[in-house]
Amino acid sequence: MAGKRHFILERALKEIKDGMNVNLGIGMPTLIADRIPEDVHVMLQSENGLLGIGAYPKEGEADPDLINAGKETVTVVPGASYFDSAESFAMIRGGHIDLAILGGMEVSEEGDLANWMIPGKMIKGMGGAMDLVQGAGRTIVIMDHVNKHGESKVKKRCSLPLTGQGVVDCLITDLAVFQFKDDEMRLVEIQPGATLHEVQNKTEADFLIDDGLTSYQ
Amino acid sequence: MSKVISSVEDAVSEIHDGATLIAGGFGLCGIPEKLILALRESGVKNLTVVSNNCGVDDWGLGLLLKTKQIKKMIASYVGENKLFEQQYLNGELEVELVPQGTLAERLRAGGAGIPAFYTATGVGTDIARGKEHKVFNGRTYIMEKGITGDFAFVKAWKADPYGNLIYRKTARNFNPVAARAGKTTIAEVEQLVGIGELDPDRIHTPGVYVRYVFEGKNYEKRIEKLTTVKA
């Protein structure tokens, strides 16, 4: 599993370009931060009120007044700024954040995302996810292709409550990369170690195969 | 024109059963910890609390859950709190989950005298049910209403006696919008300085929004998730 996750993170990393303002969701997306090369200058936004997240602090230097949206202690990079929650979501909802990378529970062929609630389980809340998927310039979802029972998380229709409708621009799983554009879901890449046959078998959604389909090198 | 009060008990004495209370903070960062403790001691009940989170079992707003003082919680994320889960499942606690940006904007709007606004957040989800939908420039939005509260608790770093507030780092979060949306806003601060000592260019919340200021001592400032790297 750790190896598969590596392919997801590495592929997601390629979407982060120099000069971008990016919001990385809690959980797996947060792990991308450490992989961003030093010559790619991006500002990572944290919706609790920080643009310019830095590394975790050194032992003994954690500041309780400085956390990320996952409530972890962090530091800031040079050029960072602090602001209040309304300002933070003006940035997000006003389309000023170029890219949001979020985890997912289910993605549908229509580009719907479900990632905040499992009925019958304890409600936790959507936090900023519904704002991010509507407001960010691009929304990328990263997740495992199938659940622990081997069932496809890439569905015809989401069975879980939605976070957003038609909001996913790109889905990166351990098996494949899909783009959503003009109401079409298109397989554009196959991850290392996976085959087209496997992707087809493990995907419930109907999708087109891009002419330029490539394996990730 | 001093708004300084010397006891935190006085600060919460006006709060009555059934009041709506807005509280600043994100997780345990920038929470009004002294005011919450005082409110617990006051014993007021049936509160509607508006806050991004609801603390943890033994700190922050979680303390008011333990004493069953909260009737309804309006929040965006409550996943850190087992008591919350129990009381919700028992039907003792009403919950309204609001997307975080919508919550911030509802408070901002409420404090600015704007009764409602349209947003794309939540369109096509359960959140949109029963809400007015309207299309602007080909995109669908839902109407969300501003929030005001009888009282607001905010936590700042520095204040002057007029109630001008300066926050520190990400402890700012929901505090400025909470300050604006409260009819009676009570600020607790780490450091009270003399009038004129704060640079007017550096003030985050102008004193006009603040009714009372209280200087707290020995802040705990608990950390929810301590993450560090080896030095």
Domain residue extents for chain B:
8-113+147-214
Residue A61 annotated in active site: no
Domain residue extents for chain A:
2-214
Q: Name the band, by pLDDT with cuts 50, 70 and 90, for residue B1.
A: confident
Handedness of CA B116, B121, B126, B128 (dihedral sign): positive
Q: pLDDT value at position A215?
A: 61
Nearest to A8 by CA among A98, A126, A128, A101: A101
Q: Which of B51, B52, B57, B125 to probe the A interface (max A CBs under 10 A)?
A: B125
Q: Across the interface, which of A48, A89, A93 has its CB nearest the CB of B170?
A: A48
Please give the average pLDDT of every successive group of 10 residues along chain A, which has 217 residues.
Answer: 83 97 95 94 98 96 97 97 98 98 98 92 91 98 96 98 98 98 96 96 97 69
Complete DSSP assignment for A122-163: PP---TTHHHHHHHSSEEEEE--SB-TTS-BSEESS-SSPPS
**Are A128 and B223 within 8 A, CB to CB?**
no
Greatest CA separation for chain A: 54
pLDDT of B81 higher than 80? yes
- The first and second tokens of residue B58, run together, are 């033994």
What's the rounded Cα separation, in Å, for the pair A39 and B99?
A: 35
- Architecture of the domain spanning B8-113+147-214: 3-Layer(aba) Sandwich (3.40)
What's the rounded Cα separation, in Å, for the pair B134 and B45?
A: 38
Q: What percent of chain B has pLDDT over 90?
A: 92
Q: Across the interface, which of B104, B222, B231 has its CB nearest the CB of A85?
A: B104
Q: Is A1 on the interface with B (CB under 8 A)?
A: no
pLDDT in tens, B4-22: 999 999 889 999 999 999 9
Q: pLDDT value at position A2?
A: 58
**Are B168 and A122 within 8 A, CB to CB?**
no
Q: pLDDT value at position A19?
A: 97
Specify the pairing of strand B182-192 against strand B70-75.
unpaired
Q: CA of B124: which chain A residue's CA is closest?
A: A165
What's the rounded Cα separation, in Å, for the pair B91 and A105?
A: 28
**Are A62 and B226 within 8 A, CB to CB?**
yes
**How many residues in chain B?**
231
pLDDT in tens, B139-161: 999 999 999 999 999 999 999 99
What's the rounded Cα separation, in Å, for the pair A141 and A28?
A: 10
Does the model's pTM come out above 0.90?
yes
H or E segment and range at residue B135: strand B133-136
Q: CA of A75: which chain B residue's CA is closest?
A: B228
Are B165 and B155 a contacting pair, CB within 8 Å?
Answer: no
CB contact residues (below 8 A), chain A span 143-202, against chain B: 161-166
pLDDT in tens, B177-208: 999 999 999 999 999 999 999 999 999 999 99
Q: Across the interface, which of B88, B176, B226 has its CB nearest the CB of A73?
A: B226
Letter for the amino acid at A35? R
C-alpha distance from A181 to closest chain B C-alpha (Å): 17
Q: Which fold has domain A2-214?
A: Glutaconate Coenzyme A-transferase (3.40.1080)
Are B54 and B23 a contacting pair, CB within 8 Å?
Answer: no
What's the rounded Cα separation, in Å, for the pair B125 and B97?
A: 12
